[in-house]
Amino acid sequence: MATDLPFLWLVPDRAALQDMRSGRQLSAGQLRAAVQDRAARLGWALAQDRAAPRPRVAIAQGDPLAYLTDLLACWAAGASAVAVNPGLPAPERGIVTRALGIGLWLDGTTELAPPPADTPRAAPLGADEPALLMTTSGTTGQPKGVTLSLRALEARVALNLAHIPAAEMTTTLCPLPVFFGHGLIGNILTPLAAGARVLLWPAPGMAELPALGQALAGEQVRFLSSVPAFWSMLMRLAPVPPPGTLARVHVGSAPLSAGLWQDIAAWAGTRNVWNMFGMTEAANWIAGARLQDPVTEGAIGAPWGGRFAVLSDAGIAPAGHGELLLRSPALMQGYADDPARSAEALADGWFRTGDIADLSPDGSAVLRGRRKFEINRAGVKVLAEEVDMLLLRHPDVAEALAVGLPDPVAGEIVGAAVVLRPGSTVTPADLTAWCRSQTRAEAVPARLALRDALPRTDRGKPDRVALRALLAKGGD
C-alpha cells in the first residue's frame, strides 16, 4: 500500500473499482500504476507547454475510470484538477476556461505522449495546495470554482470513515456523476479509503433503472448514496425491491420528505437510511441523521467534525434559529480567483452555509430551507422547502418544487410545480384547496403547475432557478 501518490497512500490493496457499463475493473495496484503512468505523461505535456507552476487541468472524461485516473494523476503531476461535466458544450467550456484559467482539458480525445526515459517526475501537490476545483455551470454567469486542498479532502474522508463502519461499505455502488462532489468524495474516495469494491454507474437513465435492483442483489451491494429524485424514479421504475443486501443508505443534495424517507427504507430493506447534509464547500458530507420514529423532516444531527452555530439578527449563537454556520477541518480554501465572494462565505473562521436551521444546545440541527430561496410574500417569509414538504405530504404527489414569483402587489407569491403519482387525477385546484386546509395562507401556492418532470441541474438536483423562469413566463 505504500506510495507517494497523493491520496492513493490512503487506499488499501483490497480496494477495487469497476465500471458497471463496460465491465472494466481496476484493482488498487492497477489504479496506482495507471495514475503513475498518466501523471508522467501529464507532467511531460505540461512541461512542454511551459505551463505555469501548479496549472489547472480540466477533467472531462466520459469514462468514469478514466475520469478518476486523470483526476488523481493531476495531483501526482503537481496540477490542480478542475472537475467538470463531460457533457459541457463548447460555449460552456470556453466560459469555464476563461473564468478559471484552465491550461489543459483532458477528455476522450486528449493524447498524452510518454515522456523520455530520463525525464524527472514532476513534484506532486503539497497538502495545502489547491487540489480540486468543483465548478458550477457556466451558462448563467461567472462559474464558481470551489477550491479544496488535499488536506481538506483527506480530512473529510477521515471524518466520513469515523462515522461509517467499513463493514457497511464493503461493496459500494455509485449512481452519481463522478464530477459531482457527492459522487466523487462520498461515493468513491471515501469507500476506496475504506478498502471497498466500488461500482461506478454514473447517472443511470430511465431505461437502466429497472435493472438496478437486480444489480444490487447480484453484486451484493452494501452501501448506496444518491439524491431524492433518484429514489423517486427508481421506486417507480423498479417497484419490486431486491433481496436485502443494503446495509446503509445515504440520501442527500436535496431536501428529503418524511414519506420518501420511509419509502426508501421499505424498498431498501433497512432502517439504516440517513438524511445527509453536505456541501461542495465542505468537501461533501457535513452531517447526517438516521431514520427514526417519528420522522423529523430536515433532521441532520451534529456535524461530523467541527461544530455548528447560527447567525441571526442578534449575532452568532451556539443554539437557536438562523443561518447555519460551520467550522470544520474540511472546508474549502475559497472560490477560485474570487476573494470578495470567498471573504463573504468564510467570515471570522465560520462558513456561512446559506441554510436556515434550528440548532439545539446539543449541537444537532434541523434544516428548514435555503436562505436564497426564501419567498417574501408581503413581508411574510416562506421557505421554498417548507412548501415542497407540504405538497409531498399529499398522497398523489410524487415530486414537488416551490419558488418565489414576482407579484406587483405582494412583492412575491408562491409558485410550485408537482409531478403526480401514476394514475392520479388530482387537479391543481384540488391541491390548492388541500394546501389551504394544511398550512397558513401565505404558504399556499398561488400558481401551481402539473408537470411530467421537474427541471434539474446537470448534477440531478431540482433546479429552482429554471422553474422560476418557466413559471414567470407562464410555462407549464
| Segment 376-425, tens digit of pLDDT | 887 777 888 889 989 999 999 999 999 999 888 778 899 999 999 999 99
Crossing angle of helices 428-436 and 384-392, rounded to 10°: 110
Of the listed ranges 56-60, 375-379, 467-471, the least confidently predicted one is 375-379
Residues 149-165 have a mean pLDDT of 97
Residues 190-207 have a mean pLDDT of 95
- What is the Cα 106 distance to its own chain's centre? 22
CA–CA–CA angle 262, 263, 267 (5° rounding): 120
Residue 74 has pLDDT above 90, yes or no: yes
**How far apart are the C-alpha atoms of 187 and 350, rounded to whole Å?**
26
Where exactly are the structural domains of the chain?
Answer: 1-370, 378-472
> Residues 274-302: pLDDT tens digits?
999 999 999 999 999 999 988 999 999 99
Instruction: Give residue 2's pLDDT band: very low, low, confident or very high (50, 70, 90).
Output: very low
Superfamily of domain 378-472 in the CATH hierarchy: ANL, C-terminal domain (3.30.300.30)
In this predicted model, which residue has the larger pLDDT, 476 or 53? 53
Residue 150 and residue 6 in contact, taking contact as beta carbons nearer than 8 Å: yes
Scanning the structure block, which residue is given the C-alpha cell 484559467? 101
Nearest to 280 by CA among 457, 22, 44, 83: 83
Scanning the structure block, which residue is given the C-alpha cell 421554498? 384
Residue 192 has pLDDT above 50, yes or no: yes
50: left (phi over 0), alpha (psi -120 to 50) or beta: left
Domain with residues 1-370, CATH architecture: 3-Layer(aba) Sandwich (3.40)
Residue 55 and residue 80 in contact, taking contact as beta carbons nearer than 8 Å: yes
Q: What average pLDDT is seen over the chain?
A: 90
Residue 137 has pLDDT above 60, yes or no: no
Residues 60-82 have a mean pLDDT of 96
Record the cell numbers describing residue 160, joined without a space. Answer: 466520513
Residue 345 has pLDDT above 70, yes or no: yes
**How far apart are the C-alpha atoms of 76 and 139, rounded to whole Å?**
31
Scanning the structure block, which residue is given the C-alpha cell 470556453? 94
> Residues 166-177: pLDDT tens digits?
999 999 999 999
**How far apart are the C-alpha atoms of 471 and 476, rounded to whole Å?**
7
Q: Is the dihedral angle over the CA atoms 63, 68, 73, 74 positive or is it negative? A: positive
Instruction: Give residue 110's pLDDT band: very low, low, confident or very high (50, 70, 90).
Output: confident
Q: Give the type of residue at 262.
A: Q
**How far apart are the C-alpha atoms of 2 and 326, rounded to whole Å?**
34
Note the pLDDT of residue 92: 83
Note the pLDDT of residue 8: 94
Which residues are bridge partners to 82 per DSSP?
58, 133
Residue 360 has pLDDT above 50, yes or no: yes
